[in-house]
Structure 1
């Protein structure tokens, strides 16, 4: 491992574990994890899927807000490596989604992922003791075998993120785990609504139109520049207590 990569790994773990001592935004942390995976693990895209209190899988964060990428994750929660990862608690590594065994095992997912431009997928469990509370999913645009080192590093990142999600009281009460997870999923809904507000406002005011991915980037930049929680800013936009033009104008 190069010195540069070692430094990036250290920085990432520090960022993940920093949530142990600060009031943190779970969605922002998970998005950061997905983004860092691209550089650290040489993947094309990454995302986090969480299990809610009823055992349902939902997309919580992604390295990009591109609709085609989000569609792949949406397909994944209906049947694919992520579902198997949650069920078994083990890594699900697929080097080539066009291979016969992958098409047989996950026909719907393999077809959807390949159609979206991805050829390999790796699902890493986010575990709390024996319970899988989510999945870190890695995608590649070409056939790609995840090395043993990268598989271990990816799992370590997933484990660190899990600790971040449940840092306050999960050890004492299992209910808190579900509250944290549901909170992250609820935050995702608010973020999507806020993105829609910004996209619509950019059209209404005849300014240069922004797409959902650009809207998300504007949200994060505005929140971080003011030391504000991403979900709090999004909720303010949805409730119209913050003028969308303030965010659009930077």
Structure 2
């Protein structure tokens, strides 16, 4: 299947997801994974601005803790911060150049430690409104050309419209409520990932995959399902554990 055909499928998938009560967190999670697939980058993350204008992680193609930590490091410095503040894309950033280390002394060494050699930051924007940024990472040297950058911006635009859709584009107070809700949802899911990973003795990636698969199979919103687990109103033993789960030993 060509990339053009796959891209058409992705946009149909996204359009089909935009129902009245769609799960924005799950959709953004899928969108970050599609960025990796379509742009042939190694990882992708979506960051949204909180009410104070600080970027927070909302979705990532890889739920590995170290990638999430790297994304979170852009809380106050990094390509995404500059992209968000200026509304302009920062692309084909060579993390091996001294300029990158000088510009972002906390972010760049961590990215290099994880094996990333290049990064890109694409604004999540609608007209002149910027609500966050899409961060792309590469472990091999490959410059994104103009067409690939345009595709990355198109995917970022889809993410923005997804967040701000349902006729709230001109209602800032509703918009802020939606952004706050999305950020709160992420926090709940992070808590559940940790609980399930510890209970099953698996990685957070595996715990998240099992949690998400169960939610989708039972038509549950990730946020609602996570809140039920945190509140103790759901018996987590009903969630099929990953195949390699190793429950902690119970000592008498």
Structure 1 length as normaliser, TM-score?
Answer: 0.92
Q: Which residue of 2 aligns with 1:190?
A: 188
1:97-126 deviation per Cα after TM superposition (whole angstroms, max 9, x unaligned)? 011222222222111110121111000000
1:157-199 deviation per Cα after TM superposition (whole angstroms, max 9, x unaligned)? 1101111111113223111211111111100010011112212
Moved over 6 A (4+): none
More deviation, 165-174/113-122: 165-174
Following the alignment from structure 1 to structure 2, what is the Cα–Cα distance between the partners of residues 29 and 83?
Answer: 23
Following the alignment from structure 1 to structure 2, what is the Cα–Cα distance between the partners of residues 217 and 114?
Answer: 27
Following the alignment from structure 2 to structure 1, what is the Cα–Cα distance between the partners of residues 64 and 225?
Answer: 21
Q: Which residue of 1 aligns with 2:232?
A: 240
Q: Does the 8 A contact of 1:201 with 1:245 survive in 2?
A: no
Give the drift of 1:249: 4.0
**1:228 is paired with a residue of what secondary structure?**
coil
More deviation, 149-158/15-24: 15-24
Following the alignment from structure 2 to structure 1, what is the Cα–Cα distance between the partners of residues 70 and 63?
Answer: 12
Following the alignment from structure 2 to structure 1, what is the Cα–Cα distance between the partners of residues 130 and 159?
Answer: 13
Q: Which residue of 1 aligns with 2:147?
A: 149
Q: Which residue of 1 aligns with 2:76?
A: 78
Following the alignment from structure 2 to structure 1, what is the Cα–Cα distance between the partners of residues 16 and 175?
Answer: 18
RMSD (Å), alpha carbons: 1.5
Of 105, 123, 126, the match for 1:128? 126
Following the alignment from structure 1 to structure 2, what is the Cα–Cα distance between the partners of residues 12 and 22?
Answer: 19
Alignment of 1:205-216 (within 5 A): 209-216=201-208
Q: Which residue of 1 aligns with 2:216?
A: 224
**1:126 is paired with a residue of what secondary structure?**
strand
Following the alignment from structure 2 to structure 1, what is the Cα–Cα distance between the partners of residues 100 and 3?
Answer: 32
Q: Does the 8 A contact of 1:197 with 1:237 survive in 2?
A: no
Where does the alignment leave 5 or more consecutive residues of structure 2 unmatched? 243-252
Following the alignment from structure 1 to structure 2, what is the Cα–Cα distance between the partners of residues 102 and 196?
Answer: 33
Q: Does 1:170 align with 2:168?
A: yes
Following the alignment from structure 2 to structure 1, what is the Cα–Cα distance between the partners of residues 224 and 140?
Answer: 38
Q: 1:238 to 1:105 in 2, by over 3 A?
A: same
Q: Does the 8 A contact of 1:96 with 1:144 survive in 2?
A: no
1:221-246 deviation per Cα after TM superposition (whole angstroms, max 9, x unaligned)? 00111111111111111111111111
Q: Which residue of 2 aligns with 1:55?
A: 53
Of 4, 24, 29, the match for 1:6? 4
Structure 2 length as normaliser, TM-score?
Answer: 0.91
Q: Does 1:111 align with 2:115?
A: no
Q: Which residue of 2 aligns with 1:97?
A: 95
